[in-house]
């Protein structure tokens, strides 16, 4: 009983922290949640808990809905590729699970953090590149449960206005969340109990987002984002480093 309460409190604290990050910089809810939850549970279980908070927060981020049509015209190739890539990768690998999923999650976190800290930007390219970026995002989503790479750098390369970029990320994350939830359900990793728990975690997520919105007026978003990326890199190294030796031993 004590262990269950401790676990539940830890999960609630993680979603408050992840919501706070999203409230300050506009992203990071699935990334920070997956990174921390994967420290003590299977990535597939962590991804299942994320579905409802991620979906609702990203639907909120997509507002105003009457401005979505132009964004869909600019990003439909990315969205299509993401759905196809996620579902196909799900058919091949199933839900994120096992040591290999932790290693890949760790690598994704490190790459994302390094690209952000280095200020790396994807150069502009033809619209059809969106399909390739979407396919890559879908594969990463299916394997790791994190859907920021390479979708976010691609959206940044479109040179959208700030509000449009935030809205486009909300759209992309919504599509990824829905596609990933299909994979989880098909693999038997998303049960009714997970739905109930995921719904309950909306509350700490909203508390965190409210805190983040308040903090945004007091903190430098650039400084906060830098600390966030450094923390992700440390978590990524830990996740990959702790899971890799076991994989090598089993295959040695």
Per-residue model confidence (pLDDT) at position 245: 66
Per-run averaged pLDDT (10 residues), the chain, 252 residues: 77 94 82 87 88 90 84 94 96 76 84 89 85 95 88 90 86 94 88 88 94 82 82 85 66 52
160 φψ region: left (φ > 0), alpha (ψ -120 to 50), beta (else): beta
| pLDDT score recorded for residue 1 | 44
Give the integer Cα–Cα distance in Å for 20 and 5: 22
- State the Cα–Cα distance between residues 19 and 52, nearest whole angstrom: 13
Q: Count of CB atoms within 10 A of residue 70's CB?
A: 12
**The pLDDT value given to residue 3:** 54
pLDDT at 35: 84
On whether the CB atoms of residues 95 and 187 are closer than 8 A, the answer is: yes
Determine how many CB atoms are found less than 10 A away from the CB of residue 15.
27
Q: How far, in Å, CA of 43 to CA of 34, rounded?
A: 7
User: For position 205, what pLDDT does the model report?
Assistant: 94
| pTM, rounded to two decimals | 0.85
132-168: string of b/e by CB count within 10 Å (b at 16+)? bbbbbbbbbbbbbbbbbbbbbbbbebbebeeebbbbb
At 132 the pLDDT is 96
């Amino acid at each position: 009983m004590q262990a269950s309460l401790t676990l539940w409190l830890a999960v609630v604290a993680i979603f408050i922290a992840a919501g706070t990050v999203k409230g300050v910089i506009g992203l990071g809810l699935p990334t920070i949640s997956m990174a921390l939850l994967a420290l003590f549970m299977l990535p597939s279980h962590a991804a299942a808990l994320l579905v409802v908070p991620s979906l609702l927060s990203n639907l909120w981020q997509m507002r105003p809905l009457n401005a979505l049509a132009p964004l869909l015209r600019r990003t439909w190739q990315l969205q299509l590729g993401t759905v196809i890539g996620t579902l196909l990768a799900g058919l091949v690998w199933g839900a994120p699970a096992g040591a290999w999923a932790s290693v890949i999650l760790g690598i994704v976190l490190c790459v994302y953090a390094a690209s952000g800290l280095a200020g790396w930007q994807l150069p502009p390219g033809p619209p059809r590149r969106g399909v390739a970026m979407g396919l890559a995002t879908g594969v990463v989503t299916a394997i790791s449960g994190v859907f920021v790479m390479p979708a976010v750098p691609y959206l940044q390369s479109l040179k959208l206005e700030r509000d449009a970029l935030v809205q486009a990320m909300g759209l992309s994350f919504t599509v990824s969340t829905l596609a990933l939830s299909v994979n989880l359900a098909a693999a038997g990793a998303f049960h009714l109990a997970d739905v109930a728990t995921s719904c309950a975690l909306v509350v700490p997520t909203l508390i965190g987002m409210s805190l983040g919105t308040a903090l945004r007026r007091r903190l430098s978003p650039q400084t906060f984002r830098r600390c966030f990326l450094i923390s992700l890199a440390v978590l990524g190294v830990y996740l990959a480093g702790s899971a890799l030796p076991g994989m090598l031993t089993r295959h040695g």
